[in-house]
Structure 1
Amino acid sequence: MTGIRDIIFVTGNLNKLKEVQMILAKNESDDDINLINKELDLEEIQELDLKEIALAKCKQAVSMLGPGHAVFVEDTALTFDELNGLPGAFIKWFVKSLGLNKIVKLLDPFENKGATAITTIAYADENGEYHVFQGFTKGRIVESRGPTNFGWDSIFEPFESNGKTYAEMEKLEKNSISHRGRAFDEFKQFLFK
């Protein structure tokens, strides 16, 4: 398939939108994606299974937008080794109610500060078929370093980052090793196959 494809990305997070536009822009074929941003008020089911959360949100979006549209949602989680996968999908609410410093302090009693950043993409094609993609980056939780304007980036130090937090990395460098970059690489391979 060649040409321009309209795909709706359901998000209200402009930082996330910019990152995704950068990631999806790198394409060697003649195909191109016209990313259309829609901010919809989607309910998030209370669930630990990240795929189930993303699929439920994607199905809501399809219901709200109507059939015949290619649409995707993206959900990000941060799991702590010592907390058996928590905060997981609830990390956004942990950041909002506790703040970054208190989240770091949650791990004070533990020697293991290991964490995994996970992005889950749920995509519905124009025919209403659903597909799920995930990307993972392992790292550790550290004291906040770098700008604090993008979620928990300043407290997550990927093992592959040469000692930098996500917040301290240049966008292209971050995208090359990030959970989001990896999930969208899978998504792109699917879209351009």
Structure 2
Amino acid sequence: MSIQDIVFVTGNANKLKEVKMILSSESSKFNLINEPLDLEEIQDVDLKSIAMAKCKQASEILGPNRPVFVEDTALVFDEFNGLPGAYIKWFVKSMGLAKIVQMLDSFDNKDAKAITTIVYADGKGEFHVFQGITEGTIVSSRGPTTFGWDSIFQPKESTNGQTYAEMAKEDKNLISQRGRAFAQLKTFLAAESM
């Protein structure tokens, strides 16, 4: 059986490193190639629509016969009915983590959901959607601030109250929305290669 190339479109080095770690057990079945394409992101609150539009763009740029996937991650505050959502990257960039946490100061409910949506174009014209969700709480920044909003998100499944940033990567990947979404993709790719 030949090893198939699969393209992951991202310009985020931290995300690429984390995805390679998550998919490492599948590395014998395919070769992960990175393409840091600059894709347009549609403005929408529907996370699946955003990821689908990006994957269709990537597929058009790279060619219809190349398996490719995109991943889009959102942070959704329960009090804000889905926001900041897919815009969290821009909130972090323009406001900083402390001000994002302050947005919830006047609310008792600090609950949030981290959501990763993957859209995989199989190279045969079909698009497949996988989504992972982790529930948590927004807290004051703790741990390294090198990876997006990890230091302000404390997953409810964290056994010792750690934020994503404080957790060992292996532990984070077991409960994170990204780990869950990629587990679905891994299962799909394993079944597809049989």
Q: TM above 0.5, one fold?
A: yes
Counterpart of 1:164 in structure 2 is 162
Residue among 104, 108, 112 paired with 1:107: 104
Does the CA contact (< 8 Å) of 1:3 and 1:31 recur in 2?
A: no
Structure 2: gaps spanning 5 or more residues: none
Aligned CA RMSD, in angstroms, stands at 1.1
Deviates more, 1:182-191 or 1:18-27: 18-27
Counterpart of 2:24 in structure 1 is 25
Alignment map for 1:61-72 (pairs within 5 Å): 61-72=58-69
> Structure 2: which amino acid aligns with 1:101?
A
Alignment map for 1:74-85 (pairs within 5 Å): 74-85=71-82
Alignment map for 1:87-126 (pairs within 5 Å): 87-126=84-123
Counterpart of 1:4 in structure 2 is 3
Structure 1: gaps spanning 5 or more residues: none
Query: Do residues 143 (structure 1) and 175 (structure 2) align?
Result: no
Alpha-carbon offset, residue 31 of structure 1: 4.8
CA distance, structure 1, for counterparts of residue 101 and residue 25 of structure 2? 35
SS in 2 for 1:139: strand
Alpha-carbon offset, residue 154 of structure 1: 0.2
Does the CA contact (< 8 Å) of 1:31 and 1:192 recur in 2?
A: no
Counterpart of 1:37 in structure 2 is 34
Alpha-carbon offset, residue 126 of structure 1: 1.5
**4+ long deviations beyond 3 Å:** none
SS in 2 for 1:109: coil
> Structure 2: which amino acid aligns with 1:82?
E
> Structure 2: which amino acid aligns with 1:48?
V
CA distance, structure 1, for counterparts of residue 47 and residue 56 of structure 2? 14
Q: How does the TM-score come out when normalised to structure 2?
A: 0.96
CA distance, structure 2, for counterparts of residue 3 and residue 171 of structure 1? 31
Alpha-carbon offset, residue 3 of structure 1: 3.9
Q: How does the TM-score come out when normalised to structure 1?
A: 0.96
CA distance, structure 2, for counterparts of residue 15 and residue 137 of structure 1? 19
Q: What count of residue pairs does the alignment treat as equivalent?
A: 190
SS in 2 for 1:72: strand
SS in 1 for 2:142: coil
CA distance, structure 1, for counterparts of residue 70 and residue 47 of structure 2? 12
> Structure 2: which amino acid aligns with 1:10?
V
> Structure 1: which amino acid aligns with 2:33?
I
Does the CA contact (< 8 Å) of 1:9 and 1:38 recur in 2?
A: yes
